Amino acid sequence: MPSLGTLYASLAEFVPEAKREDTAHIIGALVCPNTLKTPRIHPSNGIYVVVCGETVYAKCSDNSCCFLKMDDDGAGADSGGQTPEVVQGTVMWRRPWVKYTEESYKSLLRRMKA
């Protein structure tokens, strides 16, 4: 997929340890990083990801999907307070890169089941 090189480069500018060979497009399996307030999985468009060790950086591939920032007071976060963070430098983007750790992703999955 030729566009993966461009997507990888957009993250590598802010996360230099990211590698092109660890970049992929995943459909129907990951929580959309634009829907952190009300977590959901896109059934068809998919998510771009770059895996760096134990961390997954994700970016929505749906051009019509727009990032909805979590409330600053933590509203909507579960009791553990673990929420994914937006990669600095991409915060103002319509579809920013979001950093998923194991804890923050599990938190999103719990909120989806609630």
- Please write the tens of the pLDDT for every residue from 7-55: 999 999 999 999 999 999 999 888 999 988 888 888 887 899 999 999 9
Q: Which amino acid is at 91?
A: V
- Please write the tens of the pLDDT for every residue from 45-83: 789 999 999 999 999 998 888 887 665 433 334 334 477
Question: Do the domain assignments include residue 52?
Answer: yes
Residue 1: band (very low, low, confident or very high) from pLDDT cuts 50, 70, 90:
low
Identify the residue whose tokens are 């134990």: 54
Question: Do the domain assignments include residue 64?
Answer: yes
Question: Do the domain assignments include residue 82?
Answer: yes
pLDDT (0 to 100) of residue 52 = 95
Question: Do the domain assignments include residue 114?
Answer: no
pLDDT (0 to 100) of residue 71 = 54
Question: Do the domain assignments include residue 58?
Answer: yes
Q: Which residues contact 113 (CB under 8 A, 6 or more apart)?
A: none
Question: Do the domain assignments include residue 27?
Answer: yes
Q: Which helix (H) or strand (E) holds 96?
A: none
101 SS3 class: coil
Question: Do the domain assignments include residue 16?
Answer: yes
Q: Which two tokens stand for residue 5?
A: 């090189």
Domain count, the chain: 1
Question: Do the domain assignments include residue 36?
Answer: yes
DSSP β-ladder status, 47-52 and 55-60: antiparallel
pLDDT (0 to 100) of residue 79 = 38
Domain hosting 66: range is: 3-109
